[in-house]
Structure 1
């Protein structure tokens, strides 16, 4: 019984070692894809142009009120269109609102 356990552990270690070798960059499978430190990187940066007429989503404060020791702020989301110089062409509300409620420490 002890021989079976020793043989099973030995084969398990052999299989794990072989799997680790196949996963390494030095294996025969990855031989064409492995890179070392002395080889330069071939990736070149790509210039990405910012697409035109894409709105920027901006949350604008609509109203603020105090209620029961809390400050409640309501924000509405707007689609803001800008030209190439950054000047706002138009601003449209999306209808999405968010409410922020926090304790007023001044009271």
Structure 2
């Protein structure tokens, strides 16, 4: 019984070691790729201003009702067009309706 347990544990450790080797950058699978940790990555942040032509999708609460022991909230999705100052130019419903139902423990 001890020999069987020892063999199972040994096989598991060898399998985990081989899987770790294959996942490392030094394995034969990853020989084609160059890894360098001594050079920093040069990345520049990009300032992107949202276009006023593209609408922002927002969900607005339409109604709250109580059904049996649950509270059901209904949300409507709207396309909101804003100008550069953030003022709402127009708001159009998309037709997508979401409901959220949760148990009222009162």
TM-score by length of 1: 0.61
Q: Once superposed, what is the RMSD of the aligned Cα atoms? A: 2.5
How many residue pairs get aligned? The number is 82
SS in 1 for 2:58: strand
SS in 2 for 1:50: coil
1:11 is matched with none
1:59 is matched with 59
Aligned residue among 23, 27, 31 for 2:30: 23
Gaps of 5+ in 2: 1-21
2:93 is matched with 93
Task: Output the CA distance in 2 between the equivalents of 1:98 and 1:105.
Answer: 22
2:9 is matched with none
Greater Rg, structure 1 or structure 2? 1
Query: Is 1:84 paired with 2:84?
Result: yes
Task: Output the CA distance in 1 between the equivalents of 2:95 and 2:30.
Answer: 52
Moved over 4 A (4+): none
